[in-house]
Chain A
Amino acid sequence: MDILRFITAGSVDDGKSTLIGRLLYDTKSILADQMEAVERASKTRGDGEIDLALLTDGLRSEREQGITIDVAYKYFQTPNRKFISIDAPGHIQYTRNMVTGASNADLAIILIDARQGVVEQTRRHSLIASLLGIPHIVVAVNKMDLVGYSEDVFLQIAQEYQKLASKLNIKDLKIIPVSALAGDNIVDKSEATPWYTGETMLHYLENVDVLNDLNLTDARFSVQYVLRPQTEELHDYRGYAGRIQSGVFRKGDPITVLPSEQTSKISKIEIYGEEVEEASAPQSVTLLLETDVDISRGDLISGNGNQPVLSQDVEATICWMDDRKELKVGNKYTLQHGTTRVRCSIKGIEYRIDINNYEQLEDVESLKLNDVAKVVIRTAKPLAYDSYQNNRANGAAILIDETSNVTVGACMVEA
């Protein structure tokens, strides 16, 4: 059994929370007292119907307003897989929340209301999923019950979506006709859509292969912590603790430490004190080296083969997340990449992307909350990075405001 992390994108009106509620309900992941609480809350709100959306809206103000404000996590499992569902709000003013949720997702479910087809919001969610490099996209054409389960309607939407998808970087696409409210094609195949011969939503979620989404080619390891127990029996022990970001490391492998470009060989790999011959992403391990090398937190250990780019100049797609201050050319921030932090300044904004129609807008002076743009960044020290689209772990970075310490930008680096 492994874990699948998926994000659902769509608004309340598209039935997003209902879909998650349905998955929880049909996999028997809602416990009796939680169900009672939802029934109670549904009654208080006076609409009579049991509102499965209330299962995911956790904060007082969310329940009061009937909207999802923040990213919420829900957990359920079937005999085959453990699921972490990431629920992020869909309105344009919450783009940063969707970016946040998408950053850790293996798969995105994009909801389309069958009565409306592909709308602006669909384009926006698909662009974000694609920019964030989510490997699998499932389009749920929802509310099929309200269009008489019409095959024509479904095919037309599917065709329109495929046209949209061809402009984006989507590796794996699946389109499923569903009704979250009635439960059609969610867990069981619906008798109302005999023309649909594909998988149900849950069947697909249970079987989609996410193990191969990890980059297992380029060995990268960010040093988190240097282990030096300094006890009598471990006097000379010096281990580098961290999580393998990508690729495989084996005992005896030659390595390069970046940015210093020192070289050595792996003398030992330990997992929690026990020696192993090899380890791969995303395992947390401790590496020991044959020679004494000057290494501290923030350094990157790279295996043989493809090397990361080592440079002070970084081009990145950025999503701006600060609602108080704009990003302007010349501004300085702290950039966090892997376990390293370095000062940086914004050298230029190449263009801003209109996230609704994908147009590139030039002559942009500043970015405000939820803007997505291509920027050029100069760092105070060389950074060892890979292209985000090839290596999510070593191509991602955040910008931190130096005075408020708040995370203000999400960067997908190009190399």
Chain B
Amino acid sequence: MSNTQNLESSSQRKNYLDQLESEAIYIMREVAGQFERPALLFSGGKDSITLVRLAQKAFAPGKIPFPLVHIDTGHNFPEAIQYRDWLANEVGAKLIVRQVEDTIKAKGLKEQTGKNATRNWLQTYTLLDTIEEFEFDACIGGARRDEEKARAKERIFSFRDEFGQWDPKRQRPELWNLFNGKISKGENVRAFPISNWTELDVWSYIEREKIPLPTIYFSHQREMILRDGNLLANADFIYKDEADVIVTKTVRFRTVGDMTCTAAVESEADTIEKVVNEIKATRISERGETRIDDQQTEAAMEDRKKGGYF
């Protein structure tokens, strides 16, 4: 054993990104070890892209031992869908896609209409059906506790009843790194390996690992709808009225959700380094700046989670 090796291993213990990575990989492996049919919920956003990289590392040199599942609202950015297909192929993972549109038709669900209509709530139906169809007992998600108040209270292994519901008052105590994934048939666990990461940690990790991202995360010109101070990408399925102004802007997206509820920021940042610098300097939180769905009420996320949301 030489001194340099000693230094190497102790500097790795000191580096916060290594610590976060090590913890996330530990959680991934616990999911694979404790459950029979796990799945990774993939949205095409930077957090789930980070999860895929962590899963690759957790099971290297083998392949990721669970499928990637995408609940497609039909309102995604085309760039995100393209990226999704490319990535699944690149890492050699099985990709399962289920369409919210199909659930709407099959179940005769009523969609929101008019301004700011979103399929955000409807995704939950498709998600729960997909969990039932494949009998998934654990779903890995990219939620982070710094994102939102309700998420700050959620366990890393979050128990959901047979209706997928989260009950914040009856959460299992989660001690040390001993995750209790014991469930009965029909119940499932949502597991969040990057719970302790912040938005900046995710961006810094993507930069360090040189993880390719969908192009919408970088500065580009786009036709936008200017509405209530938010910039929404223009698309046929977005309801517009006289108050909406169509403008061409140089923008990037800080989060990637549905086109109906994800706002862009005006930015010239066209490389990951520039994006990281902008994130460091920002004075507005990610969800506050870009998620129209969370601007609606104080407890929007808490309510969605209680209903079975991610």
Contacts and interface: CB of A to CB of B under 8 A. Distances in A.
B176 A282 contact: no
A243 B176 CA distance: 13
Given A100-B175, A406-B172, A229 B63 contact: yes
Interface string B13-24: 111101111110
B175 A103 contact: yes
B285 A33 contact: yes
A285 to B, nearest CB: 9
A384 to B, nearest CB: 15
B155 to A, nearest CB: 9
Contacts of A56: 152
A250 B1 contact: yes
Contact of B178 (A283, A396, A406): A396
Interface in A264-317: 270, 272-273, 276-284, 286, 297
B235 interface: no
Contact of A297 (B33, B61, B195, B198): B33
Nearest to A245: B177
Contacts of A277: 1, 5
Interface in B109-144: none
B173 A272 contact: no
B69 interface: no
B178 to A, nearest CB: 5
B29 A284 contact: yes
A58 B153 contact: yes
Nearest to B8: A276
A9 interface: no
A264 to B, nearest CB: 20
A59 B16 CA distance: 29
Contact of B58 (A100, A211, A284, A321): A284
A339 B32 CA distance: 12
Contacts of B5: 276-278
Given A75-B145, A75-B196, A284-B22, A41 B15 contact: no
Contact of B26 (A59, A243, A392): A243
Nearest to A388: B176
Contacts of B152: 56, 58, 72-74
Nearest to B286: A31
A70 B200 CA distance: 25
Nearest to A70: B153
A282 B22 contact: yes
B227 to A, nearest CB: 18
Contacts of A393: 176-177
Interface in A183-202: none
Q: How large is the interface on B (under 10, 10 to 19, 20 to 34, 35 or more residues)?
A: 35 or more
B269 to A, nearest CB: 18
Contacts of B176: 103-104, 392-393, 396, 398
B14 A211 contact: yes
Nearest to B22: A284
A241 interface: yes
Interface stretch (A110-118, A160-168, A220-228): A220-228
Contacts, number: 191
A349 interface: no
A141 B57 CA distance: 46
B9 A248 contact: yes
A242 interface: yes
A199 B168 CA distance: 38
B60 interface: yes
B196 A84 contact: yes
A286 B29 CA distance: 11
A96 interface: yes
Contacts of A281: 13
B302 A31 contact: no
A405 B178 contact: no
Contact of A336 (B21, B169, B180, B298): B180
Contacts of A343: none
A241 B29 contact: yes
A398 B180 contact: yes
A23 interface: no
A234 B62 contact: yes
A84 B146 CA distance: 10
A393 B150 CA distance: 29
Interface string B258-277: 00000000000000000000
Given A34-B288, A70-B153, A70-B171, A280 B10 contact: yes
Contact of A75 (B23, B198, B302): B198
Contacts of B284: 31-33
A396 B175 CA distance: 9
A33 B16 contact: no
B25 A279 contact: no
B197 to A, nearest CB: 9
Contact of A59 (B19, B22, B149): B149
A45 to B, nearest CB: 12
A78 B252 CA distance: 27
A131 interface: no
- Most chain A CB within 10 A, of B59, B175, B178, B282, is at B175
Contacts of B153: 58-59, 70-72
A224 B173 contact: no
B183 interface: yes
28 contacts: A3-B20, A31-B285, A33-B284, A33-B289, A37-B298, A41-B298, A58-B153, A59-B153, A59-B302, A72-B152, A74-B146, A100-B175, A227-B59, A229-B63, A272-B58, A273-B61, A276-B9, A277-B1, A279-B9, A283-B22, A338-B178, A397-B178, A398-B173, A398-B178, A400-B182, A405-B182, A405-B183, A407-B180
Interface of A: 1-3, 31-34, 37, 41, 56, 58-61, 63, 69-75, 77, 82, 84, 96-97, 99-100, 103-104, 211, 214, 224-225, 227-229, 231, 234, 237, 241-243, 248, 250, 270, 272-273, 276-284, 286, 297, 321, 334, 336-339, 392-393, 396-398, 400, 405-407, 410
Given A33-B285, A228-B62, 4 more contacts: A284-B25, A393-B177, A405-B180, A407-B175
Interface of B: 1, 5-6, 8-10, 12-16, 18-23, 25-26, 29-30, 32-33, 56-63, 145-146, 149-150, 152-153, 168-169, 171-178, 180, 182-184, 195-196, 198, 200-201, 282-285, 288-289, 298-299, 302
Closest 9 interchain pairs by CB?
A273-B60, A58-B149, A33-B288, A229-B62, A272-B57, A405-B182, A224-B29, A284-B25, A103-B175
